[in-house]
Amino acid sequence: MKILVSLVSLIAFLLVLLPGPLYKFDVVELGTAFAGFKFGVYAGGAALLLLLVQVIFMRKTVTLGSAATAVIFSAIAIAMPLNMMNTAKSVPPIHDISTDLVNPPEFIAIAPLRADASNPVEYAGEETAVQQRKAYPELATLNFAQSKTDLVKATEQAVQNLGWELVNTDISKGIVEATETTAWFGFKDDVVVRINDEGSERFVDIRSKSRVGRSDLGKNAERIHTLIDELNAVLTK
């Protein structure tokens, strides 16, 4: 029983740990990867149940180390997918976020890179905008006094500081485009920053969009906030 509990808990752990890297390196499809989470929860629950049976009926075979390991592996296998599900329920099922919902910044150099993406490069539309306004009302066009050139350079520096891939910089158009690749699943999410020069003020808009998936689990809004914070940090240096 001790070996069985350890084996099932390890399998549960691997079922939630490996889907990301396996998808990232094109070993499995996204649907298969997410299925691993479901089976990981089941296996984690089974491991805890088996451990309970062992404790009740075979107490002499239980050791602190093996029991603790089984509990930790099983808890991770159960908690990670459930946490993702709770996050998904707390945010709208959208994947295209912009500070300007009337005229969102357009992807230029990134557009051909998204040719095979399941989410098209075009803005998701008014339905998405309505959901964003409710979920992220704080996201709005930014206002700066610095020149367009300085803001483009600062944005470029902020992107580099964050470790994102800088795809395109166009000072004349006030455009900076970048891609962030997530560590676990290797998802590629794209960002475009647009800087408009209007007299003594510069207006900055940021758009972040996932290439795959219906819901981004709030990641694109989080990414915009992160970029804003980093841009402000660069400008104050």
Residue 60 has pLDDT above 90, yes or no: no
DSSP, collapsed to helix, strand or coil, labels residue 224 as helix
Distances (CA, A) of 52 to 7, 46, 62, 160, 223: 15, 10, 10, 50, 42
Please state, in angstroms and rounded to a whole number, the distance separating the CA atoms of residues 37 and 77: 8
- Average pLDDT, integer, range 145-163: 97
**Phi/psi of residue 209, each to 5°?**
-140, 135
Percent of the chain with pLDDT over 90: 95
Mean pLDDT for the chain?
96
Given this model, what pLDDT does residue 1 score? 86
Rg (CA), the chain: 23
Please state, in angstroms and rounded to a whole number, the distance separating the CA atoms of residues 91 and 200: 37
What predicted TM-score, i.e. pTM, was given to this entire model? 0.92
Structural domain boundaries in the chain: 2-90, 96-235
- Average pLDDT, integer, range 67-87: 96
| CATH value of 96-235 in 3.40.50.1010, 3.30.530.50, 3.30.420.40, 3.40.50.620 | 3.30.530.50
96-98 and 188-198 as β-strands: parallel, antiparallel, unpaired? Answer: unpaired
Residue 237 has pLDDT above 90, yes or no: no
User: pLDDT, tens digit, for every residue of 170-223?
Assistant: 999 999 999 999 999 999 999 999 999 988 899 999 999 999 999 999 999 999
Sign of CA dihedral 89, 93, 95, 100: negative
Question: Dihedral through CA 182, CA 183, CA 186, CA 187, nearest 10?
Answer: -20
Distances (CA, A) of 221 to 11, 38, 67, 189, 232: 34, 27, 40, 12, 17
Residue 33 has pLDDT above 90, yes or no: yes
